[in-house]
Structure 1
């Protein structure tokens, strides 16, 4: 598939959004020290961003549904640029919290609208691969952007990190302006029709697939640092290497997942990825104590976990005729719900004093449920298209 400049501009957006979401985890202590609050209080910045994603995805898509996609994407990245910039210079606790919440609003809408735009820019039969190119930006963020941002935040100033992230938002705005073709607005779109999609049981089935199934990834990755240091026996310095390997795996898996989703049906591809994720996490549970396996398993697990993204987005788009952008953006909200559910349920065995490989076992259960729900969707919905 020839690479369209419009897809590259969407990938820049994925890079910026990936950095603003995931860099926070690494520099939370630096922010807490800077504004004199404790870590638990500072961790609310993570939850507020996720809340912004959940709130912004449906509301911004509904509010902008009659406007051309290019203009909406420009508006979203302007919002991203301004409020990440304000976050970088915010002087106190409350201004940080407000800026962080608003900076999360464009996230779901950008990926939702971007997924539909990417599929429109793609040649027929290559739609999932086009969506994967957009999400490559987020995987590059995990591979290079987040480690770099964390390093700058630790050794210099976390505000510089978020200044860079704000600049990436501006760069995305400019690339969309110059490279994205002007696609016509959907004149038949209306808010009632968009919202009406969620009156259907199969819409909620896809939301459940994403919220529960992707939670398997987050049950594992939320505790990766403690897993590799306390169970695998690696040093603290090795954690950054593990994170880079996970990011590299995500890059490969994302592109591979796009090809698989275009070759098979989206649901078949999703079932394959969820099943492989469950098997991988189960193997990881049993061999996590073997130090030499920690590095290859970080790459393999990251690759398998992120191979699911393009197929899930295509499931949403194909199943929501007339409400594609609304459904695709809601999928991003569901992904963030999966983030919270995976971290929450993954913590339960730890509360009972079990070791840090047990969250991976929770991930096995969640990924398996995701595969089962996807099978139900395939047999009851997709095969009837």
Structure 2
């Protein structure tokens, strides 16, 4: 919820926190409010490798409790921040623990399920994101529309508070690596395949976020549907993400390369079809489901790929998936906002998504070919 609920409330946030730009040109105000999405994503990008690398030596179950508590506090700050600038700062702070939180959780789950089911373990943890998009994000959007956008973040902070207690009581003890230090973990960036995997994820995920970041104005302004229908479309998107995540975990365990390349190509096709048909609410919902399914199916593949190429640097590798995801979040929201502010209409972000999906597939193919060539020489 903390990452995605903003996307259905951008018009509400823009109207309240940016009254002058909203009165002059609502499209520009919505695009500026989209910076909140990018700032959260930037916090994840900065925090994921630095925090995960710094805490690799500590017991993982205890680290998860501390990170969940930090997410509780920083999301509560979003509720009480009175200005756009302070809300922006709170979103950046809330993003800092995000990548390490999910990355370490994925490591614990992958170890518990054992060899041969690592991607399914990753998908199991990431299912929290997808379930949030079926239940939490639509509910939070509806609450924000009816009671003010801050109401959504009251729920977010409350959920994180409950999660902190639940993790403390139920996650089994899981040791860290006492010999690891941040300097050791940062050596992962010397591995060329890590950079290619990050590029694949960042560009590919950008295709998904270009669409979902501006789903609210796409539904209301482009398709001409009432505001309440935004929540319904978000439920459809969440169902697509849930199905995609479960399917993606199984496909990645069977054939990581094919699931990654073909998944990115499918994302590009689904985004293009959405752009062509978004003026009709039925086809908008159908292809938004397809974009969500294909985009979410990529996440287990990217995280498993990073863990495969990172060697001993598993803590930071698991968190880097969320850096890649949120670089894509920031990139997709930024480029989508640029196209809207340029006057190209609310379908333009879906075209951005199609282009980014194709670019991500190209980077993935490049990475696998480089790896194959290196093995042939060796």
Cα 1:204–1:180 change in 2 (3 A) is same
State how far apart, in whole Å, the 2-side matches of 1:231 and 1:357 are: 7
Cα 1:291–1:155 change in 2 (3 A) is closer
Cα 1:204–1:171 change in 2 (3 A) is same
1:116 corresponds to which of 95, 107, 114: 107
2:260 counterpart residue number: 270
Output one character per residue of 1:195-233: Cα deviation in whole Å (capped at 9) or x when no partner: 111022222111111111111112222333344445545
Give the secondary-structure state (helix, strand or coil) at the position aligned to 1:308. helix
State how far apart, in whole Å, the 1-side matches of 2:328 and 2:36 are: 17
1:26 counterpart residue number: 8
State how far apart, in whole Å, the 2-side matches of 1:20 and 1:261 are: 27
1:360 corresponds to which of 346, 350, 355: 350
2:186 corresponds to which of 191, 195, 199: 195
State how far apart, in whole Å, the 2-side matches of 1:170 and 1:237 are: 28
1:214 corresponds to which of 205, 217, 228: 205
1:342 counterpart residue number: 332
2:66 corresponds to which of 52, 70, 75: 75
Higher deviation after alignment, 34-43 or 246-255: 34-43
Contact persistence 1:140–1:247 (CA under 8 A): yes
The structural deviation recorded for 1:243 is 1.8
2:297 corresponds to which of 307, 321, 324: 307
Contact persistence 1:267–1:377 (CA under 8 A): no
The structural deviation recorded for 1:239 is 2.9
Computed over aligned residues only, the root mean square deviation of the Cα atoms, in angstroms, reads: 2.7
Matches within 5 A, 1:61-210: 61-90=52-81, 96-210=87-201
TM-score (norm 1): 0.85
State how far apart, in whole Å, the 2-side matches of 1:317 and 1:240 are: 35
Cα 1:378–1:173 change in 2 (3 A) is same
Output one character per residue of 1:255-314: Cα deviation in whole Å (capped at 9) or x when no partner: 1111111111x2321112111112222333334445542332222222122111111110
Output one character per residue of 1:148-191: Cα deviation in whole Å (capped at 9) or x when no partner: 11222232244443222112112211221121111122133222
2:26 counterpart residue number: none
The structural deviation recorded for 1:97 is 4.4
The structural deviation recorded for 1:348 is 4.9
1:13 counterpart residue number: none
State how far apart, in whole Å, the 1-side matches of 2:168 and 2:271 are: 42
Cα 1:82–1:340 change in 2 (3 A) is closer
Contact persistence 1:73–1:110 (CA under 8 A): yes
2:274 counterpart residue number: 284
TM-score (norm 2): 0.87
Contact persistence 2:208–2:353 (CA under 8 A): yes
State how far apart, in whole Å, the 2-side matches of 1:228 and 1:26 are: 10
What residue ranges of structure 1 are gaps of 5+ in the alignment? Answer: 1-18
Contact persistence 1:50–1:104 (CA under 8 A): yes
State how far apart, in whole Å, the 1-side matches of 2:239 and 2:39 are: 28
2:240 counterpart residue number: 249
State how far apart, in whole Å, the 2-side matches of 1:114 and 1:75 are: 13
Contact persistence 2:275–2:350 (CA under 8 A): yes
Find out whether 1:333 has 2:323 as its counterpart: yes
State how far apart, in whole Å, the 2-side matches of 1:289 and 1:153 are: 25
Give the secondary-structure state (helix, strand or coil) at the position aligned to 2:97. helix
State how far apart, in whole Å, the 1-side matches of 2:167 and 2:133 are: 22
Matches within 5 A, 1:232-247: 232-247=223-238
Give the secondary-structure state (helix, strand or coil) at the position aligned to 1:307. helix
Cα 1:248–1:202 change in 2 (3 A) is same
Give the secondary-structure state (helix, strand or coil) at the position aligned to 2:237. helix
